[in-house]
Each structure stands twice: as structure tokens, then as C-alpha cells.
Chains A and B, each alone.
Chain A
Amino acid sequence: MSARLLSAAGQRIRWLLGRVARSAHAARSWHRQQRCTESELRGIKLLREWLSPAQLAQFDLYGYFDVVGCDSGKTYRICYRSGTNIYELDRDGRRKVGWCFVPVDMLVAGDVVLAQKIALETGERRALAVARNFMPSWH
């Protein structure tokens, strides 16, 4: 009886925490979009159109998404920024090394991360050949 009550309470707490997290995320997204220029919003729209469903869900929740390199099968995390925003992950999902490559023209962040995603998914070696690496500052 008490085990059943505890289980039900646990489920209720998980549901509430999920709801709070979703509300907080929605508020963060709303504030982020309020500060965006029209160009940045267009970049975000284009990015969202090209992300896979899993990547889109991850991006909406955390502001980053993971891609798998087409040549090595390694996983990279691309954060929504215009530079020093790609992290190669180890098997435990921790940031192992940072990579930085960007389009030569000045583009909005959404375009930059979309170009990085396509490059890693279709031409990983070529992309990393021009990239600079850096040590992640935190895990």
C-alpha cells in the first residue's frame, strides 16, 4: 500500500517537474526570440526546417543539438552561437575537444550552426581539416 502511494507520489512529482521545466523552457525561448532581430529569426526558422525531429526536440529544450560525423561516427554537440560552439563528445557524452569552423561570410547564428551541421553530416573530414580546435572550458 505504502509502496503504491510512494510510486504514485513519485510519478506526480516527475510530472510536475516536467511541467515546470517545459514552462521555463517556453519562457526562455520567448525571451530569446523577443531579443532577436528579423534576420536572426529567419536564421532560426531555416535551421528548424533542416533539423531532424530528434535534433529539433533537443534544440528546443537545451539550445543545442547533436550530430553524428559521417566519416568517423563521432558525436558532436553544436551550440546555438556564431563560433567556438562545436564540441566533440566522448562515449559518456562529455565534452572532449572543441572545434571551430564557420562560414567565411558574416551570417546569423542560425545559419552558422546549420552550415556546421550539414558539413559534419556530409563532409566531416573536410570540415575538420579547416577547423581550429580548442579545449572546452567546462563539462
Chain B
Amino acid sequence: MATQIVMDHSGDTRHYFDANDTKALLEAEERFVKLTGAGFTAAVRTASGEPTVTRSFDPAAKETLFFPRLVGG
């Protein structure tokens, strides 16, 4: 199962989906577009574990992490 992890006030909310299920994949892509459109940054990890930011939906990504826009504190 692939996962989209969205940071929120509860820690995070996880959306699991089967990447082989066309409908689930479409929903995951819509969620990606909606979140990044709202200012969230999407990050995935490389095979070596290093984070990298992704600007487009990757259907093969096992885990995508979304965090809100950053501002000066």
C-alpha cells in the first residue's frame, strides 16, 4: 500500500491507497494536486533515505509527505 501523509494539528493524517487500483490512484493524484495547490510541499524519500521535494504526482511513490507552507517565525 502506498501512503500520503499530511501533517496537521493531530500530528498527521495518513491516506493509504493501492497503487494498482485506478480509482484509488486518481483520488491520490487529486489529493496531491489539491494539497500542493493549497501551498503544501510534497516530499518523498530516495532509495538511500534522503528527502527530496516533488512537484508532480508520482504514482510509484511508496510514501509522500505533505507539510504546510513555511513562514518566518
Chain A interface residues (CB < 8 Å from chain B):
38-43, 45-46, 50, 52, 83-84, 100-108, 110-111, 114-119, 121-123, 127, 130-132
Contacts and interface: CB of A to CB of B under 8 A. Distances in A.
B30 interface: no
Interface residues of B, number: 24
A102 B11 CA distance: 15
Given A46-B65, A52-B49, A123-B53, 17 more contacts: A39-B9, A39-B11, A42-B11, A50-B65, A100-B73, A101-B70, A101-B71, A101-B73, A103-B71, A105-B7, A114-B65, A114-B67, A115-B41, A118-B53, A118-B65, A121-B50, A132-B73
Chain A at the B interface: SS class: helix
Contacts of B51: 50, 117-118, 121-122
A136 to B, nearest CB: 15
B7 A103 contact: yes
A43 B11 contact: yes
Contacts, number: 94
A104 B71 contact: yes
Contact of A111 (B7, B41, B45, B52): B7
Interface in B27-65: 39, 41, 43, 45, 49-53, 65
A35 to B, nearest CB: 16
A118 B41 contact: yes
Contact of A39 (B10, B68, B69): B10
A121 B67 CA distance: 14
B67 A103 contact: yes
Nearest to A133: B72
